Chain A
Amino acid sequence: MTENNRHVMPKFEPSKGLEFGIYTLGDHLPNPHTGKRISAEQRLKEIVEMAQLAEQAGIDVFQVGESHQDYFVTQSHLIVLAMVAQATNQIKITSGATIISTSDPVRVFEDAATIDLLSNGRMEIIAGRASRVGLFELLGYNLADYEQLFEEKFELLLKINENEVVDWAGEFRKPLKHAHVLPRPNNAAQGLPIWRAVGGSLDSAQKAGRLGVPMYQAHLGGPASVFKERIDLYRTTAQSSGHQADQLPVATGGFFYAHEDMMEAYRAYYPHINEGMKKTNGSGFPKQAFAQGQDYRSVINVGDPQLIVEKLLYQHELFGNQRYVGQLDFGGVSMDEIKRNITLIGERILPEIRKHTMKK
């Protein structure tokens, strides 16, 4: 991209406008409307089916995250993505997030590059620090090293991505001496787009800016303008660190649910979010905060197609983001509802978003 930034950037086609994706964290929760939970086997297969449906509807990206706690099934998220790669042809695929802190960057690169080759160059990585931390003990790491582990391993992952032969020494794994990390993606940079995932902490956005890597900003609730502050901080930090901020892509992601009937969208999705958050995060989602989603300025993208289009365009204007990804399957949403949502996205939402955001 710019001379002073050798990181591999994702490619966006301005003529297509804002990219739209869906993501799953691979949660495995009971459906609060029925109290029933499908098997892990069925859930994993439905995730792959969801990716196929997304592709058929013209959705641009499908993203799967890594979680190692109770009520999740995508511990091996890269294996799920390999299956998604096999089951689809066009849609971009990305991890989101890969917890690089508790994995070996060499292995993550090998796996992701393999998926990239098998999928004709559709693979990306979003690396994050984890919000729940049970995986540190499970995978043999010390939680006290939470921040250092991420920073060291993320930088090693970038180094492997940008250099076929790597010399490296650090604190958390044995040194690499002239290590030849293969296979290499089949593109000019021989690397993968690698994003930094950012949640609630401002310093994380700042660090992404300092490194000049693409930023993926997750958002739960609240006004969109709050997230604009983080994205602005990312861009100003990038600029003052010698990167060309206007060349750095931003993706945003959060809760999404569409229904022809506005109130039905809220009635249907709220129990999934509230009950699901109680089980996976220990606190429900306040109904009052969810109800504020009906204001176009709220970042909760739940409502009828018209409101969602209005929200996404407003957020796009605020954030200058290149990609939005929605989480529409959280908390035991049934496959029928997932299908209905994807159909609405394809028929009612994507055409409007593209019409208003495409550039010649």
Chain B
Amino acid sequence: MNILILSGSNIGSKTRVVAQYAYDSLTSRYGADHSLQFIDLKEKDLVFSDGRNYLDYQGDTAEVTQAIMSADVIIFASPIFQAAIPATLKNVFDLLPQNALQYKTCSIIMTAGSDKHYLIAEQQLKPILSYMKANVLPNYVFAVATDFDHGRIVNDDVHFRIEKLVEDTIVLARSYQQIWQDQEEQYGF
């Protein structure tokens, strides 16, 4: 499977740190059998969506959208700005076709300054993923500022939760790939 980890912030370090942790965990456990890719939106220069087909964009915008479209599994890491996902990440969704995430398994890692934002993923990110037809892992990881120090995760529980998320994401993706394959075979063509 093609597995993509997308760090969805253009600023700060927490989102990048959790995304990197998930990437390292995936690499050590599943790297031999799958193709892994890490994209940090902080390093990309994306244009705002103007509604065109994603194949008609160029440069970093083309690279990021095509990476998403060719992935089977995507782990989205996102910060919370003004009680919402950041515009950087929302723009990525806007750049894609309506059913872009169909037959893709997606999971979520959120970082925030405060526990008060715990439901942002549930109420904002999941509806977008569902609208775009993603197969979404029910649980997500939520980490706050006190879980980090000097660019590292210092809460063992966050380590454990990310490792669980990675494992659950792969289990869900593998299961559904098998289910979808069986489903397609029954059509008889």
Contacts and interface: CB of A to CB of B under 8 A. Distances in A.
Given A132-B53, A132-B55, A133-B52, A282 B187 contact: no
How many A residues are at the interface, by size bracket?
A: 10 to 19
Given A266-B189, A291-B187, A282 B50 contact: no
Contact of A281 (B53, B188, B189): B53
Contact of B53 (A267, A282, A288): A282
A212 to B, nearest CB: 28
B187 A134 contact: no
Interface centre among B50, B97, B189 (most CB of A within 10 A): B189
Given A263-B189, A266-B189, A267-B189, A283 B100 contact: yes
Interface string A126-157: 00000111100000000110000000000000
A345 B56 CA distance: 36
B99 interface: yes
Interface string A172-205: 0000000000000000000000000000000000
A143 B189 CA distance: 40
Interface in A303-339: none
Nearest to A135: B56
A270 interface: yes
B100 A287 contact: no
The interface residues of chain B, by DSSP majority, are classed as loop
The 8 closest A-B pairs by CB, nearest first: A266-B189, A267-B189, A291-B187, A282-B55, A133-B52, A287-B184, A134-B56, A132-B53
A133 B54 CA distance: 10
A87 B99 CA distance: 42
A83 B54 CA distance: 34
B53 A270 contact: no
Nearest to A268: B189
A35 interface: no
A286 interface: yes
Interface string B42-54: 0000000010111
Contacts of B187: 266, 287-288, 291
A275 to B, nearest CB: 14
B94 to A, nearest CB: 15
A340 B4 CA distance: 44
A138 to B, nearest CB: 11
Contacts of B183: 288
B69 interface: yes
Given A282-B97, A283-B69, A283-B99, A133 B53 contact: yes
A149 to B, nearest CB: 14
B189 A282 contact: no
A208 B103 CA distance: 36
A219 B7 CA distance: 38
B52 A282 contact: no
B55 to A, nearest CB: 5
B102 interface: yes
A283 B102 CA distance: 10
Nearest to B187: A291
